Every structure is written in C-alpha cells, then in structure tokens.
Chain A
Amino acid sequence: MDDQAPKKYGRGLFLVTVAGGLTSLAWGRSFSGALSKVPFSPGGGWRIYTVAPTMPTFDPATWRLQVGGLVDKPVTLDYHELRSLPRTTEIRDFHCVTGWSVPHVHWSGVRLTDLFEHVKPQFSAQAVRFTSAEVPYVDYLTLQQASLHDVLLAYEMDGKPLPREHGAPVRLVMPEMYGYKSVKWVSRVDLVMQADDGYWEQLGYDRDAWVGRSNGL
C-alpha cells in the first residue's frame, strides 16, 4: 500500500523555503554584493533615504554654505565660490549600513582639508558638525576623521551635478564609513570642541561607522 501513501511534500516545501529565507540573514551577505551588480538593479542600486517629509530644494541664487564655529576666518560660500575651490575626484564604493552597496561611484568636490585651510580651525576645535538642510539631520566627524585625504564635500556624482535626491547641491562623502555619516544637503559646516551624536547615532548607531568594523556588522 506504499504507493497509496499521501505525497505530503507541501509542508516540507513550506518549511524549507522559510528556513532558507531566515538562514539567509546569516549567509545572504555574500549575495548582496552580487545583487547590487545586477544590471536591472533599479536606480543604479541606490535607495533614497530621507528623514523629513520633503527634500530640500536647491536654488543657486540663494543657496549658501556657511563654514564657521571654532575657526579664525568663518566664510559663507555661494555655489559658484564653492565650485571654484580646488577640485578633487574620488572613485569609491558606497556602503549603506542596511546592507546595500553601490560600486565605483565617481565623486567630485572639495577636500575638507582644503576647506579647513581657508577657515583656519582654532586649536580647541576637535570635531566637525555637518548640518543638513533636511531638518533635523546632522552628523559629526572628529577632526582627525574629517582630515583624511578622501573626505569630500561633493557637488558632482558620476560626472553630473549632484542630483536632488543625493543631496543637491553638496553632500559630504566619507567613503570609509557607512552612508549615514555622509550627510546630504549640507548647509553648514562647523568646527566644534567634540563630536556628539548625530541623527542616527541618537537611535543607537555607531559614531565611528567604519565600513565592516562597526554597527555589529
């Protein structure tokens, strides 16, 4: 009567699928890199994360970047003045703490160290606060971190002016840290005494968000 036994494969299929999905939380990491290279990956693999109801709009006529705080020569730059500062390009992978990455992003903009030369940080300044026009987003880097050679205020992405959803007209790019450190729509850069919790750090994320060495990843 064995051939009469009901073929109860359904439960097995259900459990194997659920188990496969749940265990992928452990082994799926190796696939997410591959997934980001899939050609139909929408929007080039980017996700647009925002915390405010509307994205800031950029008007070249009225936009200003204020650089101040504990500096000897605070400056207010308009878009044209920002673009006339020494320009540099970095080609780096962008890593989000939530698990997605975008390979080989071309960023062009101003090195923070070049900006600091203009404003002359005071001796007491040990950190930098980046304030976004997207209220209430804010984040900090230590002066040491901000002085790494590859940290930029980027106004171009992949050869074009920075798109609105990526922080137009200028965003921070801190390639060695997860994306939440790279503040979009930067409107103020202030030298301060010490780093504090930024927007996501108040929700439990690490201040020092080194890629692969922070946030329990």
Chain B
Amino acid sequence: MSAEEKNIAYFSAGMGWNLCCKQATYLLLKQEEQQKLSFKEEYALKFHMSICKLCKAFKKQSAIMNETIKQSLQQVVLMPESQKDNLKLLINRHLDEK
C-alpha cells in the first residue's frame, strides 16, 4: 500500500467517537464545504471541538484564510496599454482575414 492509500484508509475507516486532531481537522474541512457528515462523525466532531483549543483555532484561521483569499480576488488590476494595442492589432488582423 502506498502512503497515499494508507492515508485514505486511515480516514475512511476507524473513526470512532474519540477523534484525534488529525481526523477532526479533516472532518472540519469537509464540513466547511457543506458536505454531509454521518451522524457519528458530526457528534464526535462536536465533542472534540468542545475540548480541543488548537482545533478551535484551526477552524477560525481556516475561515480567515478563505475570506482573505476571496477578498484578494476583487483587487483591481489594469492591463498595460501596450498589451492592449497589441491585442487590437491582432483582432483587426483576424477580422480582415475573414
């Protein structure tokens, strides 16, 4: 079994009521995307989040990351004028060919 397969097996099987942080963060990311967790997973995660400070911090930071990335997508950038002129020439040439 490759390392990758082992990891997948590790996550899909053997999640009990007792989660470790590794599994909890994995489930958190799944939950973030509105994936449906099984009932057992959901409550195990809730329980883990109520005791684990670090995982709480991870959840917060993950949300902050998502938001800042989203904001950075709205940044205004202008295309250089030289490139615009090049494109205009290109399009005109294409139109003339037809």
Partners in one complex: no
State the B residues within 8 Å of A (CB). none
Residues on A facing B (Cβ under 8 Å): none
